Amino acid sequence: MVDRKKIEFPEDVKKVESVGEEAEFPFDISPMYEGERIRKGEMYVELGGTEQPGFELVMALSPDEVEDMKVTVVGPDLEEMEEGKAYPYGMIYYVAGSQVETDLEPVIERRNHDFQNYLEGYMHLNQRYDIWIRIGKSSVKKGLKSLVQIAKATMMLFKNELPFIEKIEAVYITDADLVTKVLNEVAMRIYEERDARVEALHDEDVDEFYSCTLCQSFAPTNVCVVSPDRPSLCGAISWFDGRAAAKVDPEGPNRAIPKGELIDPIGGEYSGVNEFAKEESGGEYERVKLHSFFEYPHTSCGCFEVIGFYMPEVDGIGWVHRGYPEPAPNGLPFSTMAGQTGGGKQIAGFLGVGISYFRSKKFIQADGGWYRVVWMPKELKDRISKYIPDDVRDKIATEEDARTIDELKEFLKKVDHPVVKGVVRPVDGKKVTDGWVEEEEEEEVVEEEKPAEAVQPTPQPQMAQAVQYPPTQLPVQLPQLPQLQLPAQSAGGVKLVIKDAKIYIDKIVIKKPEEKKGGK
């Protein structure tokens, strides 16, 4: 971790220091000024932006290191700047408080944007190393003389709005060499460290997930649950976005979901998520597992970037993205599968996801993760290639290897894909599939003495039969199959023997035998 300590500046650089609260400001402070755009003609100076380096950084320090309400301006101050010019700008805040931790730094830093935009005649845009500030001429006319005034107003807002900040100190740098030096040597390293932490943040590290119901106008029962390991299906919303939106508007489309009890650590089932799903889907769904393909999968809205589809013939999962126009090896193009799955339904055997879910360490981990994946279009595979484990990357076919189930079978056999001999899921070492049954062997599926029951796949934890159903407690939802009722006279029971069967049903039409009229 980058050491958090105050930045030291050379003695010979011009500095202005000021401690204590300012009694009055020559500018208004109000959320009303958010979005205010200072046009080029009205601008006194520009800080950062496209022409000059700039950055903003919050560092959490221990209370004895922070001198409360102190400002140091390093380099030329506003009065020494030439009107209409752009200058380098670094804003550093040291914060302390019993609850202030390194993890909170980015959360606090983000608010600099909000608070500085409350200042009349001060436009703040962007974040991190991209910041771009314009100060209006009118504010300077009204008496704005020094960045000390800006810093004091901003710190006052920080303390008022975020009371857990007990002490705050600001250092604003306008000296070109020092802005670049601190940006490269300290700030960039801290930003990189934060990004690395994001990659390492998992569902178990947080207390809340976030919902997204932006799409409910299209898919009324859809409930997107956004967790650190599972971004939204549209790919747009990460856990961080959900958190940011929920803070701004707690009753809006992104709300906090307390996780509750962990029910299934591998499938990713939480009591809080289940309750939320039940409520938001209008009772339609009672359980949702975040990292499961077959068992209580996440609902699919219609916005998803990629759809996953189970292919029983190879006992593997294929993925196809919106931009791939050809049919997948199962014979269906994206649009057809999306049409069947979309609309907020929970359908075992199909799953809509966002492209960034492929980055997740928990990517369908209940079903074997990447080791269960057998096919994806080349374009998609190339895009996410670095997230595929080395030992299976070349074993996943693309359209260049296989376009039909038969070609796919051959390919998987040739490369010895895990599905051929059985998939061991890495998360707990459990074998989740038995692999393909040798074709010579005659496999019998015998359903004995099942009188007049609806034909339902029995829940099977593993796949042993030639007719392979996904291991699920949900009935496999082929598009709304009516339950097959066998004729009543078979009450004595029937014996069904299915040998080496491959069943593909395009359509079943069941009709009552029509009574012939006038035929007697």
Partner 1 sequence: MVVIAVTGKGGTGKTVVSALLINFLSRNHSLLAVDADPDSNLPDALGVQPRKTLGEIREVFQVSRDDMGTMNKEQWLEGKIYGEAITETDAYDLLVMGRPEGEGCYCFANSLLRGVLRRLMRHYDVVVIDTEAGLEHFSRRTISSADYIVVVTDMSKKGLATAKRIKELSKELKLNFKKIFLLGNRIVNNFGEEEIKRFADEEGIELLDLLPYSEEVVNLDLRGEPITKLDESSEYARKVLKIANKLVG
Amino acid sitting at position 149: Q
Q: How long, in residues, is the chain?
A: 520
CB of 144 to partner 1, least distance (A): 19
Interacting residue with partner 1 among 198, 446, 454, 501 (CB under 8 A): 198
Interacting residue with partner 1 among 4, 6, 113, 142 (CB under 8 A): 113
Interacting residue with partner 1 among 138, 240, 256, 426 (CB under 8 A): 240
CB of 322 to partner 1, least distance (A): 6
Contact 497, 444 (CB under 8 A): yes
Report the alpha-carbon distance of residue 122 to residue 138 in Å, rounded. Answer: 10
Per CB under 8 A, 339 contacts partner 1: no
CB of 246 to partner 1, least distance (A): 13
Per CB under 8 A, 406 contacts partner 1: no
Site string for partner 1, 121-160 (x = CB under 8 A): --x-xxxx-x-x----------------------------
Interacting residue with partner 1 among 93, 304, 324, 370 (CB under 8 A): 304
Phi, psi of 169 (to 5 degrees): -135, 140
Q: Transcribe 450-519 into DSSP letters.
A: -TT----PPP-SS--SSSPPPS-SSPP--TTPPPPPPPGGGGG---EEEES-----S-----PPPPPTT-
Report the alpha-carbon distance of residue 312 to residue 469 in Å, rounded. Answer: 7
Residues 6+ positions from 224 with CB-CB distance below 8 Å: 211, 212, 213, 215, 232, 233, 234, 237, 298, 299, 301
Residue 501 vs residues 331, 408, 498: alpha-carbon distances, Å: 19, 18, 6
Residue 179 vs 303, nearer CB to partner 1: 303
Per CB under 8 A, 255 contacts partner 1: no
Residues 6+ positions from 231 with CB-CB distance below 8 Å: 237, 238, 239, 354, 356, 357, 360
Site string for partner 1, 57-96 (x = CB under 8 A): ----------------------------------------
CB of 127 to partner 1, least distance (A): 5
Residue 319 vs residues 339, 391, 492: alpha-carbon distances, Å: 15, 19, 44
Per CB under 8 A, 206 contacts partner 1: no
Token digits for 243? Answer: 């958190």
Interacting residue with partner 1 among 96, 151, 173, 237 (CB under 8 A): 237
Per CB under 8 A, 377 contacts partner 1: no
Interacting residue with partner 1 among 322, 378, 430, 450 (CB under 8 A): 322
Per CB under 8 A, 102 contacts partner 1: no
Q: Transcribe 249-272 into DSSP letters.
A: -TTSSS-EEE---EEETTTTEEHH
Stretch that binds partner 1, among 11-19, 170-178, 208-216, 510-518 (CB under 8 A): 208-216
Residue 127 vs 398, nearer CB to partner 1: 127
Contact 138, 145 (CB under 8 A): no
Report the alpha-carbon distance of residue 402 to residue 374 in Å, rounded. Answer: 10
Residue 74 vs 224, nearer CB to partner 1: 224
Residue 142 vs 197, nearer CB to partner 1: 197
CB of 323 to partner 1, least distance (A): 7
Contact 436, 275 (CB under 8 A): no
DSSP-based helix, strand, coil % in the chain, nearest 5 = 30, 20, 50
Interacting residue with partner 1 among 22, 36, 67, 313 (CB under 8 A): 36
Binding region for partner 1 (CB under 8 A): 34-37, 39-41, 49-50, 106, 110, 113, 123, 125-128, 130, 132, 194-195, 198, 212, 214-215, 232-238, 240-241, 244, 253, 301-305, 322-323, 355-356, 359
